[in-house]
Structure 1
């Protein structure tokens, strides 16, 4: 399409410069690559823009959300890498050939992650949001392939959950979560395998932020007998129990009383000395003053959490949990009493990482990619919008 000078002046809006990092070839260093742009408006309300290299066969896709923005300022976006379209298509085809039940997989399930990293020339933590959602779409499309055997089901759960984490942040994620609920309804295909059970709960813990309140309650009810047993607790593999706890702690929309009961149980384990860093993470997630994705009315009462803090003060290695649970927000309904905050401050000042923990506790450190990844429990996708993404 061509425009006359008059049309350019009256019809075309000059946008602020847009910057992105794109991978071109395998040699290190920056290169200037001439490109032409191809644009298309997608069905989900995004402007799909392709950068096509004029000197090679490379293509890169940039995506911008055009749906109505909220009145509040948009949160910052984490820096993102961009995978070439050719590399992404190769990764998509590898996944399709691996999980399509009508085809013979080209490699063993344990080889799949490293092969995908080779194709996209990026380690998994650096895979950008747009790329992993494309991969997730293929895995949801070929979910029947997980029925091939236990190893393939475990690999499907691990990779698909990784590519869908944290359950929100992309325009089509609501649809993807609807497709994922079919997996929940079907259940594990190899329920007798411990690794598959573990991957199942990691999968749902990763997607928890995209589930509504009723779905989160449904998920919790599946693990409640193991986490809050009535009578003698059932014997369970420790790694499986850990992932059940982490999944439950990620359910920020659960009724407050359930979250209080979970926290009280964790505190009893801490008191008995039977705890790891994972229990501290779960307690911090349950009692946090600022939730990862849930609304403010899901924050536990300050009176309840004040009691948790007093019991947590003498616990070794609890500095970060204390900083998150007692974090000052400026909201009187969420902030803990001054006397409790003073106790926490004195404790944090004695920590080796005091310079890092005190700004978190005092509310001075705004959430960034690194701090949100700690709250989430693993590194968040490259390019995910930072802040309240729901």
Structure 2
């Protein structure tokens, strides 16, 4: 089964291994017409599943409108009707989930879609949306094709799931995660441009080696709804026979048919409203939808010259505010050809000038919409590699294979062929025209090719050699010749095959255990000679930076920070993802290293200001803590002055201390826990500062270890429990860090604290009353309990009822805060 999980549309192809062989001796690839809602309560099969998810409100649709034959209680809408209903209510429509899956600027596992949803709309993550599409395909297939036959269930088949060739490792891992959550645990990843080429091979299996010749180059140009992908496939003679090899892939370009629709929308909006940006979000989405339909009509084979565009008024001006215009085929061709496919020279460079209109709907679209400039830069980048592979001084494309719904119009394909032909007329001849390999179904070719690739994996058909198009490196601490150069070790050489599984015997590393560490991984598509274990110097312009790996290598029972000798291990899995491990050389420990999927903004905020805090400043601040809480009482280090002295040492106010700095200070404070309480003043200031540095008890890789140390404080209690100020700071401390405690520990605090919240008569009769609260500190206890989010629902109900009984519900502001929690 081949699944094209597209940005705008998804499709499914399959091969029935029990079917009679076709004309090439293999069973044919067929399409699965996917059942989906096409109207309220109406299900029909369609060759594509629009990649849209609609989240109905309580009164959007009539009862039963979202029911499916295999799930009468289906709450959401997926597919054609989701797309149509989303035009009416845009704030509830999830779109472009695949683009969000590759967006490093957000936490791709967080509930952020629909982007900018109004209050009251429950959002989901990009991973959840992808899971929903795959789960729909799986359930529809099982209901329609498998029935009660367990062996024919979707999840028991060989499933090939396609991704853009330019997807980074995090996006690939998250795609596999989505498939697993959808009940497809063993899906194999295949790059979409390769799938398109496999679709061509499926039609030309008997004669491909007569159509192509040794040394020739095929450019695959794949422009879908959300992404543009370039891939180079080469033809070479190996062992006396022609072989196909994937030689190069391009960078990730968030640029496709969606951008064309947005650009048309801005043009029409300016015509209707006098300037862009005047339409409200709902009317803007409706306009873009009309522009997409108009584009498909005007560039299609109908010959239609114009399409009416109508934007309804809003509010009381529904009719009076309605605006109308026409979009002509000339309008569309001029905007697309001049804006997205302009005639450029072969040495053109993509513009880096920021264009606000191309960051529509929160996505970081490519700054330069000119696909031809991106193609020129891609070809130049791999010129030297292609010369080595072909022996040609100035290699050029011998064929081009177009794919993706955006390239369905013949006008756009002809434009690209003409421009590329002009680049190489000196080498290929003045009348040379770049030949096109036929692709009659560009919207379905990826699904066809993915299913055919399933046959290839079973030993049938024609395989394209497709080792890793990238080399992978891990950054190391080593002297570099200049600030720009990156010292790194090659983990995965370019060109290795899936299943590559090695442990680096050299170089030998020391790793820091039991403390937060960060590993930085880089990739390069152009460095071809680096070998496994090579220590190399990388230049910023020849590598891409993957999200960092942030972790704690836990070693030993005591959790003491130490150095341990390790060796790195790496595996390129059969499913198409990268796994990296750190293996201890002195024990059996193996630590998996996983990429951080948080947003770049979150990480940037966490690290904000760190460049302004030197290691010497942090060391000075730590020295102040050690001197203040060393168990001695001296006039040189009064606890009342510790905050001001720390602010002076770090040269910034407490509220602006970076997260990593406060965690370092928190570790120093924890190291003084046995000597913290020379006086009750020392203890109160120590608790206040530690709570500030460890709040909210989670979020840093080492917080789990820290919370284990903190729990010992709770078990041992205060050194000065008779002092009201100490008790008050105690509850404030647990309010700040309590959210990081495990459920059992939160429950223990709740059970031991609850008797203290009883009425006076109840307190006298209670033998389990551990704490005797003063009036002022009781409010702090309520706020602390309100932050124990892992308490069972029944416990929260009990707390809420007790709180409402206080003073007949006449609660103070802090008590109201606790009740809302």
- TM-score (norm. length: structure 2): 0.28
Q: Deviations over 1:113-158 (max 9, x none)?
A: 1111111111111111111111111111111222311000111111
Please list, as runs of the form range in 1=range in 2, the aligned pairs for 1:307-346 lying within 5 A after superposition.
none
Please list, as runs of the form range in 1=range in 2, the aligned pairs for 1:199-348 lying within 5 A after superposition.
199-229=729-759, 231-232=761-762, 236-269=773-806, 271-273=808-810, 275-285=811-821
Q: Distance in 1 between matches of 2:675 and 2:485?
A: 39
Pick which of 223-232 and 213-222 moved more. Answer: 223-232
Q: Secondary structure at the match of 1:170?
A: coil
Q: Distance in 2 between matches of 1:107 and 1:148?
A: 12
Q: Name the counterpart of 1:178.
A: 708
**Per-residue deviation, 1:242:** 0.9
Q: Distance in 2 between matches of 1:109 and 1:95?
A: 9
CA contact (8 A) 1:99 1:144 kept: no
Q: Secondary structure at the match of 2:518?
A: strand
Is structure 2 residue 619 aligned with structure 1 residue 94?
no
Is structure 2 residue 687 aligned with structure 1 residue 157?
yes
Q: Name the counterpart of 2:512.
A: 42
**Per-residue deviation, 1:108:** 0.9
Pick which of 99-108 and 167-176 moved more. Answer: 99-108
**Per-residue deviation, 1:81:** 2.1
Could you list the runs of 5+ residues in structure 1 that have no partner in the other structure?
Answer: 16-33, 50-62, 286-390
CA contact (8 A) 1:41 1:48 kept: no
Q: Distance in 2 between matches of 1:38 and 1:131?
A: 25
Q: Secondary structure at the match of 1:42?
A: strand
**Per-residue deviation, 1:12:** 5.8
Q: Distance in 2 between matches of 1:121 and 1:35?
A: 28
CA contact (8 A) 1:97 1:104 kept: no
Pick which of 78-87 and 241-250 moved more. Answer: 78-87
Q: Name the counterpart of 1:68.
A: 594
CA contact (8 A) 1:92 1:138 kept: yes
Q: Secondary structure at the match of 1:241?
A: helix
Inter-CA distance 195–219: structure 2 relative to 1 (3 Å threshold): same
Please list, as runs of the form range in 1=range in 2, the aligned pairs for 1:370-389 lying within 5 A after superposition.
none
Q: Distance in 1 between matches of 2:697 and 2:710?
A: 10
Q: Deviations over 1:6-41 (max 9, x none)?
A: 9xx9746699xxxxxxxxxxxxxxxxxx78888985
Inter-CA distance 85–102: structure 2 relative to 1 (3 Å threshold): same
Q: Distance in 2 between matches of 1:260 and 1:230?
A: 21
Q: Distance in 2 between matches of 1:244 and 1:131?
A: 29
Q: Distance in 2 between matches of 1:105 and 1:215?
A: 39
Is structure 2 residue 671 aligned with structure 1 residue 134?
no
Which structure has more helix as a fraction of its residues?
1
Q: Name the counterpart of 2:237.
A: none
Q: Distance in 1 between matches of 2:814 and 2:689?
A: 22
Q: Greater relative contact order: 1 or 2 (C-alpha under 8 angstroms, separation 6 or more)?
A: 1
Could you list the runs of 5+ residues in structure 2 that have no partner in the other structure?
Answer: 1-383, 386-468, 476-482, 489-509, 521-547, 552-592, 765-771
CA contact (8 A) 2:516 2:702 kept: no
CA contact (8 A) 1:41 1:47 kept: no
Q: Distance in 1 between matches of 2:740 and 2:671?
A: 19
Q: Distance in 1 between matches of 2:679 and 2:621?
A: 22
Q: Name the counterpart of 2:3.
A: none
CA contact (8 A) 2:697 2:707 kept: yes
Q: Deviations over 1:261-294 (max 9, x none)?
A: 1111222337442x21111110111xxxxxxxxx
Q: Deviations over 1:210-243 (max 9, x none)?
A: 1111101111123201224484567842321011
Q: Distance in 1 between matches of 2:632 and 2:519?
A: 32
CA contact (8 A) 2:632 2:678 kept: no
Inter-CA distance 46–236: structure 2 relative to 1 (3 Å threshold): closer
CA contact (8 A) 1:97 1:103 kept: no
Which structure has more strand as a fraction of its residues?
2
Q: Name the counterpart of 1:116.
A: 646
Q: Name the counterpart of 2:106.
A: none
Pick which of 188-197 and 262-271 moved more. Answer: 262-271
CA contact (8 A) 2:474 2:519 kept: no
Q: Distance in 2 between matches of 1:176 and 1:282?
A: 26
CA contact (8 A) 1:42 1:48 kept: no
Bigger Rg, structure 1 or 2: 2
CA contact (8 A) 1:97 1:105 kept: no
Q: Secondary structure at the match of 1:254?
A: coil
